[in-house]
Amino acid sequence: MTITIFVPRDAAALALGADRVATAIAREIETRGIDARIVRNGSRGMHWLEPLVEVRTERGRIAYGPVKPSDVPSLFEAGFLQGADHPLCRGRTKEIPFLARQTRLTFARCGVTDPLSLEDYRHYQGMKGLEKAVTMQPTDIIQQVTDSGLRGRGGAGFPTGIKWKTVLEAPGAQKYIVCNADEGDSGTFADRMIMEGDPFVLIEGMAIAGLATGATKGFIYTRSEYPHAIETMIAAVEIARKAGILGPSVLGSGKAFDMEVRVGAGAYVCGEETALLNSLEGKRGIVRAKPPLPALQGFLGRPTVVNNVISLASVPVIMDRGAEFYRDFGMGRSRGTIPIQIAGNTRHGGLFETAFGLTLGEIVDDIGGGTASGRPVRAVQVGGPLGAYFPRALFDTPFDYESFAAKDGLIGHAGITVFDDTVDMLKQARFAMEFCAVESCGKCTPCRIGSTRGVETADKIAQGIEPQKNRELLADLCNTMKFGSLCALGGFTPYPVLSAMTHFPEDFSPAPIAEAAE
């Protein structure tokens, strides 16, 4: 029987040499005359083990990693094709604690299947949600999504069902589904992983959104820095079209839905939904004033759903297993699961999908395993570059929208960046202001000018120039940006700055210049 070997094609695995490992394995197979095939799967999301090679055996899939090309001959010698022991052997993949502790609903197939095999997709429960949706009325689909409690995973946490209902009820002959795959937040990679590892789940989710709202055309807007995701998505859309999943009659239902992939140049602000729509229309990526909401006047002025990749990719499992099944996971008003992305100075970086409600400390210490440097964790930034810094004292905060908001933070796209005790929080605050200055679309003054003044003020504090006065000035500036900015780029930049000042005041009190000179 042909042996199946899995070598990921995910960008993170490729960056760590997965292609060279696949070539080395192919060479060994040929020289040894073995009946084996290599499947290029997505990533399981355990970055410290990449490239993670798996072999399908009678005992299930056995994992080896991180594999270097030079390890390959010894793997064959040891009998890894039969799942034999080797220093790199991690045992049965699904028993690796990092994976075993997860609840994989949205990422159920990621790393398991061949991303471009529809046969694989269907074999692992794929397309069941869309099969149900084509038989349902739009209002019933929307009710199910609403009842599931699904909230936007792009950052704002807006209820997905309500957004869809607005688009369904908006007058207009042509409506659109726009998938926000810009994924600009630092330390996040969930959108990329799903597009590279399970593209059909996004296509299925978008098609369901189309049926639910009456939209017949969809766009996936992503960035040029994601070449592998772009390639995979374009290929998957083509396959889906040929199979009758997309096109004039979705799964033979007589209802039309088609989509295409559009690539932006990669500006952080183009992830903001209205700037994204401008960019999609070929205009400069600048934020539009709201109202009108994109749901009423979005792409080309027509009713448009703008949803994050993970929001849309979570819909198929909701339609397949039912709203109750999904909403049973989670806590409070944060229902279902969330793919947490652990990055920065962490021992076990990667993607961990779990029900809302784990504490930040459990995620950072138990799952992430502390820092890669081995030094104590000092701060964790949650929610990308606009997210607050959390000190250890707040590690008992449960990971859900409301608990984080109550601590002046946000979960955003669920990226967590870990820092050890060598971090300088004044520098981090300055960096937040600098990031905002660089990425600002320039439309409003508090953000465009305020961020630059913020950098200058942080520099003055660092130089010991009137520190008390400049600390007050920085806090005041943050207040102006928070309440005076048109969008969340200027409006949320104060979060990392103020949290750094509040929780790490000692870093904002360098020796005054006069004392330092003596």
Ligand X SMILES: Cc1cc2nc3c(=O)[nH]c(=O)nc-3n(C[C@H](O)[C@H](O)[C@H](O)COP(=O)(O)O)c2cc1C
| Residues of this chain that bind ligand X (CB under 6 A) | 152-156, 158, 180, 182-184, 268-269, 271-273, 306-308, 311, 487-489
| Minimum gap (Å) between residue 440 Cβ and ligand SF4 | 4
489 lines the binding site for ligand SF4 (CB under 6 A):
yes
79 lines the binding site for ligand SF4 (CB under 6 A):
no
* Angle formed at CA 473 by CA 469 and CA 475, multiple of 5 degrees: 120
| Minimum gap (Å) between residue 17 Cβ and ligand SF4 | 38
For 361, other C-beta atoms within 10 Å of its C-beta total 16
Which option in ligand X, ligand SF4, none does residue 320 bind, with CB closer than 5 to 8 A by kind?
Answer: none
Window contacting ligand SF4 (CB under 6 A); options: 167-175, 231-239, 323-331, 481-489: 481-489
244 lines the binding site for ligand SF4 (CB under 6 A):
no
Return the closest-CA partner of residue 180 out of 139, 222, 121, 149.
Answer: 222
Amino acid (one-letter) located at 17: G
H-helix or E-strand spanning residue 90: strand 89-92
Among 193, 269, 458, 477, binds ligand SF4 (CB under 6 A): 269
Q: Which is nearer to ligand SF4, 46 or 489 (CB)?
A: 489
Which option in ligand SF4, ligand X, none does residue 273 bind, with CB closer than 5 to 8 A by kind?
Answer: ligand X
Which option in ligand X, ligand SF4, none does residue 447 bind, with CB closer than 5 to 8 A by kind?
Answer: ligand SF4
CA separation for the pair 8, 22 (Å, rounded): 9
Query: Residues 43, 232: contact at Cβ < 8 Å?
Result: no
CA separation for the pair 188, 184 (Å, rounded): 8
Q: Which is nearer to ligand X, 65 or 285 (CB)?
A: 285
| Minimum gap (Å) between residue 487 Cβ and ligand X | 5
Phi, psi of 208 (to 5 degrees): -65, -45
Helix, strand or coil for residue 32?
helix
478 lines the binding site for ligand SF4 (CB under 6 A):
no
Q: Which is nearer to ligand X, 180 or 428 (CB)?
A: 180
Q: Which is nearer to ligand SF4, 230 or 432 (CB)?
A: 432
108 lines the binding site for ligand SF4 (CB under 6 A):
no
Q: Where are the beta strands (DSSP E) in 393-464?
A: 415-420
Exposure string for 20-50, b = 16+ CB within 10 A, e = fewer: bbbebbbebbeeeeeebebbbbbbbbbbbbb
Among 218, 344, 415, 490, binds ligand SF4 (CB under 6 A): 490
Instruction: Give the dihedral of Cα atoms 486, 487, 493, 495; nearest 10 deg.
Output: 100
| Minimum gap (Å) between residue 383 Cβ and ligand SF4 | 17
- Write the interaction track for ligand SF4 spanning residues 423-452; mark x where CB under 6 A is met and - where it is not: -----------------xxxxx--xx----
Which option in ligand X, ligand SF4, none does residue 490 bind, with CB closer than 5 to 8 A by kind?
Answer: ligand SF4
**Contacts with ligand SF4: how many residues (CB under 6 A)?**
14
| Minimum gap (Å) between residue 143 Cβ and ligand X | 18
CA separation for the pair 79, 91 (Å, rounded): 14
Among 355, 437, 487, 497, binds ligand SF4 (CB under 6 A): 487
| Minimum gap (Å) between residue 216 Cβ and ligand X | 20
Query: Residues 271, 280: contact at Cβ < 8 Å?
Result: no
For 226, other C-beta atoms within 10 Å of its C-beta total 22
Q: Which is nearer to ligand X, 34 or 156 (CB)?
A: 156
Which option in ligand X, ligand SF4, none does residue 210 bind, with CB closer than 5 to 8 A by kind?
Answer: none
- Write the interaction track for ligand SF4 spanning residues 270-309; mark x where CB under 6 A is met and - where it is not: -----------------x----------------------
What is the DSSP-derived secondary structure letter of residue 279? H
End-to-end, the C-alpha distance of the chain in Å comes to: 80
Helix, strand or coil for residue 341?
strand
CA separation for the pair 332, 356 (Å, rounded): 9
CA separation for the pair 475, 477 (Å, rounded): 5
Number of H helices, E strands in the chain: 23, 16
Q: Which is nearer to ligand X, 66 or 157 (CB)?
A: 157
Which option in ligand SF4, ligand X, none does residue 443 bind, with CB closer than 5 to 8 A by kind?
Answer: ligand SF4
486 lines the binding site for ligand SF4 (CB under 6 A):
yes
Per-residue three-class SS string for 453-505: HHHHHHHHHHCCCCHHHHHHHHHHHHHHHHHHCCCHHHHHCHHHHHHHHHHCH
| Minimum gap (Å) between residue 155 Cβ and ligand X | 4
CA separation for the pair 21, 4 (Å, rounded): 15
Q: Which is nearer to ligand X, 158 or 483 (CB)?
A: 158
| Minimum gap (Å) between residue 420 Cβ and ligand X | 27
Query: Residues 193, 46: contact at Cβ < 8 Å?
Result: no
Q: Which residues bind ligand SF4 (CB under 6 A)?
A: 269, 287, 440-444, 447-448, 485-487, 489-490
